[in-house]
A and B are shown apart, each in its own frame.
Chain A
């Protein structure tokens, strides 16, 4: 079946521009996560949704970062007034259940953001 998809795969933005990154989770998956992976580093947690509710946004680095999942399916990560330090790969993951063995997270291919 279809996995997690993300678009665009690559995005080049000028410093100060706003960007929107989209994530389509696996159909029926309750939980959705966003992670940021800087070059040469492991992914770091940004935010977590259970259905449409954003339950944890403790990893968002500043108030320029905003995420939503209005209908409990597709999610959008928005970065306002992009800065060079925002350059990274943004990964989306989804899981079928909140807890238990079905909470395994499945990752999309990521969106590589380059801010010039």
Chain B
């Protein structure tokens, strides 16, 4: 069975400071991992994905994440927060190419940016 744990339900950072959103995963197979962002009253947008290529993955809007198998982690980072980054972020796992195609979402981290 696959699962993800988002360690913080709410993160607040000042504009211009670094962002760290933490995620740990559990998967029986070689997982695919994703970060999605959801702005209020808008659909889920893919930020970045890891699919067994490079362990450091770069996404849109300056976000990146590092896959660490030894720590079963896939934390999301951004060097400098912008006001437009305020949103709900979901860490997501899918069991590799030979497992379930369905996505399993974490409970989400709400990111607040302080002006």
**A binding-site residues for B, Cβ under 8 Å:** 3-4, 31, 33, 35, 41-45, 48, 55-56, 59, 91, 93, 95, 98-101, 103-110
Contact = CB atoms under 8 A, between A and B. Distances in A.
B49 A45 contact: no
A3 to B, nearest CB: 8
A101 B113 CA distance: 32
A107 B34 CA distance: 13
Interface string B94-115: 1001101111111110000000
Q: List the 9 closest A-B pairs by CB distance, nearest first.
A: A42-B105, A107-B44, A99-B97, A45-B102, A109-B43, A107-B43, A43-B105, A42-B108, A42-B107
B44 A43 contact: yes
Q: How large is the interface on B (under 10, 10 to 19, 20 to 34, 35 or more residues)?
A: 20 to 34
B5 to A, nearest CB: 11
13 contacts: A35-B105, A42-B106, A44-B105, A48-B101, A56-B100, A56-B101, A100-B51, A104-B49, A105-B103, A107-B36, A107-B44, A107-B45, A108-B43
Given A41-B108, A101-B51, A56 B46 contact: no
A51 B102 CA distance: 15
Nearest to A58: B102
B103 A45 contact: yes
